Amino acid sequence: DNGSLRPASMDEAMERVATGLSPHMGDAFGLFSCSKGTNEMNYMAQKFARVVMASNNIDSCNRT
C-alpha cells in the first residue's frame, strides 16, 4: 500500500491479481514459456493463458 509492503491474506492477494489482470484478457494478453520448464509447468502455463486469460497468444522457446 502506498509503496510499502505489508502482509495480506490470500483472498486479498488473489483479488488484487485478478483486478490487475482482468483488463488484459483476450488478445491483449500473451504468454511466453520456456522449454527448460517441465512438461507439467508448460501445460499449466498454456492452460492459464487459454482458460483463465481467454487468449491463444502463447509461445515458447522450443521452436527456436
User: What pLDDT, on a 0 to 100 scale, did the predictor assign at position 64?
Assistant: 58
pLDDT tens string 1-56: 888 999 999 999 999 999 999 999 999 999 999 888 899 999 999 999 999 999 99
Amino acid at 50: R
Q: Per-residue pLDDT tens for 30-45? A: 999 988 889 999 999 9
As a whole number of angstroms, the distance between CA 40 and CA 53 comes to: 19
Coil, strand, or helix at residue 22?
helix
**2-27: burial string, b at 16+ Cβ within 10 Å, e else:** eeeeeeeeeeeeeeeeeeeeeeeeee
Split at pLDDT 50, 70, 90, the class of 63 is low
d(CA 53, CA 50): 6
